[in-house]
Amino acid sequence: MIKPTDKTLAATLQDKIDNLNKPKGSLGRLESLALQIGLIQQSLSPHLDHPCHILFGADHGIEREGVSFSPREVTWQQMKNYGKGGGGVNMFCRQHGFKLRVVDVGVDYDFDSAEEPHIIDRKIAHGTRNFLHEAAMSEAEYQRALSVGAEQVDACHAEGCNIISFGEMGIANTSPSSVFMSLFLDLPLDRCVGAGSGLSSSGVRHKYKVLAQSIDNFKQQLRASNEVASSLNPPLAMSNYIIRYFGGFEMVAAIGGMLRAAELGMVILVDGFIMSACMLAASKLDSAVLDYAVFGHCGDESGHKLMLDSIGAEPLLSLGMRLGEGTGAICAYPILQSAVNMINEMDNFAHAEITKYF
């Protein structure tokens, strides 16, 4: 169970921020960030320690339906590439001092641990099943993916990490993300489906048709199932069922990681469309997780801005990025550093002997 951040400290934090030697509110978003991080850490002097980035990789059964521009093998090829330090995520982690953990939870490839020692092996299966026809994963696989995410966050926390971000590598994972968005926000699917890694307009139309049919099939199976109706908490059971039916192993692991990070009182930096969809899903399992979430980036994927607006999220950056891997979140990290430095290092009016003019 995640504890919502204790807001009783808010007035004292805000007073400290307002009395820094600057016009009230003049540092804008940095001020609200400092307040949020102070509430997460329950401290008037918050700090960011040992930032970690966990990248989960897995393949998707729905990819077989031609819903992605990129071929399936790119998943395992990129997972290997991260070990050579050649990925976008590697470069940004180096630049901003993040420790990178690369975790295989369901890639359709058998890695050689001697050749790829950087890949943490937590493989559940060689990709999910095709959710056009059946649930992407079993209940046991779903629980395993959640636990892998929590386990990896625990490892980071044990090293002194108090700020964490998540990334993904999984060809076709914009498809389940679009479905999450449509079902969890009750939005028309056509407002949630985009080009992913580069589909043409005809490709997007095909993707929409596949996902629309998948949702219809899901609803038929839901009516035939007693899994949700027999639950003591039908809304929670429905959320779990949707995530299990459509999600990828890498997405569910990230959801498990987000929930665990919030339980541990960590700041969670959220990346683009796919990780925002995972945070949306996590919030349906425990809404308090949003208290710990800082949304780093609004990307170019169709529907991402609508998703963020729908959950009241204010992203820090809008750089037109759509690489994934968690790169948008890592790029936003210096802004959080600035917010923390502001509240800790700026002098106040009284000590600096400056007239307070408001």
Using an 8 Å Cβ cutoff, are 246 and 180 in contact? yes
Task: Give the DSSP letter of residue 104.
Answer: E
Structure tokens at 309: 């607006």
Q: Which residues fall within 8 angstroms of residue 197, CB to CB, at 6 or more apart?
A: 68, 69, 70, 171, 174, 322
From CA 209, how far away is CA 217, in angstroms rounded? 12
- Decide if 325 is catalytic: yes
**What are the percentages of helix, strand and coil residues in the chain, rounded to 5?**
50, 10, 40
Which residue type is seen at 222? L
Structure tokens at 205: 């139309």
* DSSP strand pairing (52-58 vs 99-106): parallel
From CA 321, how far away is CA 331, in angstroms rounded? 11
From CA 108, how far away is CA 119, in angstroms rounded? 14
Which residue in the list 63, 168, 301, 325 is annotated as catalytic?
325
**Which residues belong to the active site?**
325
